[in-house]
Amino acid sequence: MNFDITQSTRTVILAPAAAQSVTNTTPAVDVTKFYGVASLAIDAGSFTAGATIAVNLQDAATLGGTYANVPGTTVFLTEASAGLSQNIGVNTDALRGFVRAVITLGGPTPTVNASVRFSGYSFP
């Protein structure tokens, strides 16, 4: 039997690449078919002067349920992070079923070009 590992990987875009200029919460996605360690990736492009971005991954047992921060998944980036990508490993077996990202901006008039992705192994 041949097994192609690329057929079992999945990427979910929580926040598409765009200018983030307001604090927001992304729509939640079902991660119940993910297994093992997934990657939470934040790609940072340009920042306005003094801008910062913090991303928290949250989970809940149901789509409309009560969300809480997933320990160890907070990413904080500053102007010095422009053009960089930050990746954090997430144990999907510990997640409660649905995840979303909370994106918080800081600074005088913050705008950050950024995206947030969740990638990992997934059952079909």
* pLDDT at residue 123 in the model: 87
Q: Which residues have a Cβ under 8 Å from the Cβ of 70 and sit 6 or more positions away?
A: 56, 57, 58, 59, 90, 94, 95, 99
The rounded distance, in Å, linking the Cα atoms of 65 and 69 is: 13
CATH 3.50.50.60 fits 14-122, yes or no: no
Which pLDDT score, from 0 to 100, does residue 30 have?
97
Query: Can you tell me the distance from the alpha carbon of 26 to that of 18, in angstroms, rounded to the nearest whole number?
Result: 13
Residue spans per domain, the chain: 14-122
pLDDT tens by residue, 22-58: 999 999 999 999 999 999 999 999 999 999 999 999 9
Q: Give me Rg for the CA atoms of the chain.
A: 15
- Share in percent of the chain as helix, strand, coil (round to 5): 10, 60, 30
Residue for token pair 């921060």: 69
Q: Report yes or no on whether pTM surpasses 0.85.
A: yes
Residue 8: its pLDDT value, please? 86
In the chain, which residues have pLDDT < 50?
A: 1
